[in-house]
């Protein structure tokens, strides 16, 4: 009988937590806004992409640009030559 009562208590706690979960997140957000300056309140939010992930993505992108610098330069030069020749044809 005691085990059944414990299961009922745990179930009620889970239901209460699920119902008040949104309210507690709002309370946490408002307390973060109070303690941090106005522009930095978004940094207290732990959902979404973290700073470490963004830095890793930037490092990978910079590495790719360094590795393929000559190919990227050649492509950009070809595109600009095509644009310039196209403009000169339209103007004439």
pLDDT tens digits along 30-49: 554 456 666 666 666 666 67
Inform me whether the pLDDT recorded for 79 exceeds 60.
yes
Listed in sequence order, the residues at least 6 apart from 65 whose beta carbon sits closer than 8 Å to its beta carbon are 72
- Residue 17 in tokens: 């937590």
Residue 91's pLDDT is what? 77
Q: Are 46 and 32 in contact (CB under 8 A)?
A: no
Inform me whether the pLDDT recorded for 3 exceeds 70.
no
Q: How far apart are CA 17 and CA 25, in angstroms?
A: 11
Domain limits, the chain: 1-44, 48-92
Give the lowest-confidence range in 3-12, 16-25, 71-80: 16-25
């Amino acid at each position: 009988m005691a085990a059944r009562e414990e299961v009922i208590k745990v179930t009620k706690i889970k239901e209460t937590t699920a119902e008040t979960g949104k309210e507690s997140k709002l309370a946490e957000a408002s307390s973060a806004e109070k303690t941090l300056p106005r522009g930095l309140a978004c940094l207290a939010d732990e959902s979404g992409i973290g700073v470490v992930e963004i830095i890793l993505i930037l490092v990978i992108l910079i590495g790719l640009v360094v590795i393929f610098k000559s190919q990227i330069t050649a492509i950009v030069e070809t595109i600009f030559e095509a644009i310039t020749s196209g403009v000169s044809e339209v103007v004439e």
